[in-house]
Every structure is written in C-alpha cells, then in structure tokens.
Amino acid sequence: MRVLVTRPEPGASRTAKRLSALGHEPVLLPLTGIAPLPTPAIAAADFDAVTVTSANALRNTAEEVLAQAARLPCFAVGDETARLAGEAGFAAVASADGDAGDLAALMKQRLPDRSRILYLCGRLRRPTFEAALSEAGFEVAALETYETLPADYTPESLAAHLGKETIDLALVYSAEAAIALVRLMHAETLVKLSPAPLFLCISTRVAAILSGEQHKTLVAAEPTEASMLSALRDISSAGAISRPIFMD
C-alpha cells in the first residue's frame, strides 16, 4: 500500500522506516512543522515532578532546562515519550501507556495533593489535561517549549511529494494535521493526485474532523502509533479489520 504520512519531522522519517519494514510504500507529506520556543531557566527545587504529553516537548526543551528537570520524577503519556525522557536524562520515568486522561489518573495515584508539576508542552494544546491536573489538586506550571506551525505547499510541491500514483491510506496524528488535510483534499491538485480512500486516525477527535469527507475513516484502538500500525496490519492482511473503529 502507498501510505501517506502526515506527521512532522523527525517523526515522519521514523514512521517511514516502520512502514517500509512492513512492506508498504511511505509517502511523506508533513502537514505541520515544529519550531522551538525560547525556554526560561527553571530550578528543580521549585517542582515535585515533571509531566510530558508530547515527545516534541522534550526534543525542543533547552539543554540547561532539561538538566534541571531531569532531577525530578517524570510522568509521560506513553511508552515512546517515556523512552525519549530516559534518553534525555530522566532517571525516574513512569508511562501511562495511554492518553492524557490516563496520565492524569496515574499522577493522581502516585503523587500527593498539592504537588507542584512542571508541564513541558507546546504552545498549541487542549486545556483538558491541565484542568484535570488542577482538579486533582496539583499546582501546574506550563513551560511551552515548541510551536506547531501549518505546512505550506504549492501545487508543484504537492506533486513532487505525492507522485502520480494514488494514495491507499493516510495516517493522521493530530487535529491540526486533519484540518490541513481537509483543506488540501479540497485543492484540485491533491484530489487529482491523491484521492486517499481511507483515513487511519490516532483518535476519535481527529477522525471527527475528517468524517465529513467522502472516504472511510478509521480510529486506532489506542492513541499510539503502535496501535495505528497494528490496525494497518489488520487492514492489509486479507482485509480483516478487527481492532480499529469505523467512522463514516
């Protein structure tokens, strides 16, 4: 299958390698980009724990800030983010192996009331996770380390990225990418070159943005790339789809 990868770099290239190993042809079209933000200095003594819901937050945190933060226990949303936190120097890392709701529940279980939490995050984010932490009795300080920017493609650059063959499936990782994909699907050039018959989304929130399009939309069983690729294996093997959720 020709699989469109819409996530930003450096994740897009890693996904491409995984797709190639599964026998698919990856087509890279990052629909968002990541730009680091200047991060103010922190003191580890001001906090009791660190939390992170995006690997990009770790990748774009200044080294001196990471050095301070790594002295604290770290709570990560999933295994991939937890792995990256370990590589960044955190000695004590706990993974919620789920979504932001699972992460908030894990932290409530393991941390005392009124713990001071340093949240490494992007400027563009939903307020629900921070609200859940506040409701759990934590004091949350958000440290924005990166910004998510929309990608800009001309018809010529789209043609160069996509080639002339059609796309069999598109992997969609974020609401921002879904919005950008809808916009491009309505562009004449993209429709001609890539009528992607199937969207495979990381969450129901992302899928809802695409559900009005004239294509089948699937949601991975869990909000992780591993679950998305597991669903892709189901799709490509005898057309059996057991785990993903359909959304029309």
pLDDT tens string 48-67: 999 999 999 999 999 999 99
pLDDT for position 220: 93
Exposed / middle / buried, residue 130 (Cβ in 10 Å: 0-12, 13-18, 19+):
buried
Position 240 pLDDT exceeds 50: no
State mean pLDDT over 176-203. Answer: 76
Q: CA–CA separation, 106 vs 93, rounded Å?
A: 12
* Range 17-31 burial, b when 16+ CB lie within 10 A, else e: eebeeeebebbbbbb
pLDDT tens digits, 137-162: 999 999 999 999 988 888 888 888 88
pLDDT tens digits, 73-109: 999 999 989 999 999 999 999 999 988 999 999 999 9
Tell me the whole-structure pTM to 2 decimals.
Answer: 0.82
For the beta carbon of residue 87, count every other beta carbon within 10 angstroms. 10
Position 247 pLDDT exceeds 50: no
In the block, residue with structure tokens 């800030």:
65
